Structure 1
């Protein structure tokens, strides 16, 4: 097979050269418009039409003949859609149509326009992401998907930029081409910004370990307390007793009374902070005493003062601030700040099944520097609670669609 390239200022000129050199049996393999100075000529020069054609001068086996004919037909159709015009070009007896050649030239212009539009679409998409996600200047393309994932998961802009900057500063050359390496680096950066600790075992101290649950209304304090009290993986065979100060909600007291009867875990109801001391004395032989408190508005000074008094009278060792995953970020910030006066030293994050974004898990620690101890999801007691580690939190933030609760 003989393969040659022919150029001309017009398609007609290039096709004439094909016929003169290879004859009417020539097969058009490729046709395109090229810069006169070659592909690396970026000056504003005139373009030429380049046609790659072939003619076969050897017999083709029968099996290969069909393949060759199919290729021939496809290549003809890609350049010339109308079979009638196809005959005009490849048949010496019929003259070439000026209108046809002009039509071919127009088709090249359309192809060029489509290519230009495709490039513009990609550029606009990149610009759209830049505006939508407020991307960092000069952020490598390979980091952009991770930046967007963190952004869409609710990670704060400051933390997100800090993570990207640390990776950018520590990576070199081909590191940016390895998605697996970038993924591991993002996990590592998230985990460095977290503290995850279960409740400290204070069994070596004299007396029971007292744990209180505080937080605003509706975050699931009572249900969380019940999950912990009745879950054998948390306290094992240790003796647990309950105290509730949440007498503002009849349902809360009744809920704990029901659980208490089912599990034979004792429950004491108090109505004033001063009554907590007698309850502690009553449960002095127990390993753990869990205190449920009423939901409190962080903006109500009197309620916060009463809550602090309960913590003081109860000599509470671990105060768990219970936060709901479906709370808005701005409200979470306010709750974290105002409840700090109570002196909480643990975070429990609830209702993860009611949201699809988990960036606040990272934002919370960045703000208060208090470790996360447990997460809860669903209403099943005692099943829907567990401890987490940094890897778990990273999975929630980066790949929430893969999380199974």
Structure 2
């Protein structure tokens, strides 16, 4: 941890403060942010062209379908809406964490924007903040070129269009990336605050808490430093205590609201969600493999295999333990949860550490080749994103 605190985009000085001004750090990250913005712009342009031929509004696809409608309703009416489906399922808006709708409500109150458009604004802005944080981690560990490649890779994910929707993925990834970066560079209060806010954004906020706690353990356990922590490391202890408060606070509030200690998990069960160790997902893949044409099952099997291979590569790459803890937790929570399986690619969007081995490999190529690979991936992502959003199921 000490070595990491002395390298990268914004190292700590001897007094524990950043030695590089934020403006300088932003200039260093500017090429990555411009390239990432280009991927998002390309996705929107392709979506608009596709929508013109399909006679569908890109604005509606991005801001007024599926989960975005639930966030907008919470922003405008608060919690308490429940939908009873004919098959007996009960969908309560308590399943959605509060930070995004709270921001939508605040922005719409201060501007002429409607809540849904405020959600688009949050996602667009936070996509850039997330790309900056992802760049900062790549730069910290392997240098500027890897940081740039990593930020662009995150933008050209096959489901990268979600980063431009009124969903919570961009907001969460921004908080997660900067929370992990803060933990790696021993900015404990910032790490705890980002983790707490991430815990108010999505259930997977627990992964950011894990990263902060692992980083703190690495700082305290060697040499029995934990015995002097109260006297000399109060900011560290404050960050450790602060980190889980967002996630625990919302789960506790739902428990109070529903009158049940397991209220939040009961709400998720009503949506068909929950953690079963991946049994339901494995069964879903198995079902596709035993019925022709087998392509869907084989594709999913190969996709899961690639994710696990990347996870192993992250370990062999010797990524810092806090980064491994975060990326591993996101991967496990995405793959081992039951629910609507079509959303799993979206749930993996925050798992940017899995892209680091690819970013390191691409950064070793000649710049023109790297640009060609990333540009091709960006175009494919834009086309797939437009195709995906024009489908019948939610992302």
TM-score (norm: length of structure 2):
0.21
- Greater relative contact order (Cα < 8 A, sep 6+): 2
Normalised to the residue count of structure 1, the TM-score between the two structures is 0.20
Q: Which has the higher helix share?
A: 2
Return the index of the structure with the highest Cα Rg.
1
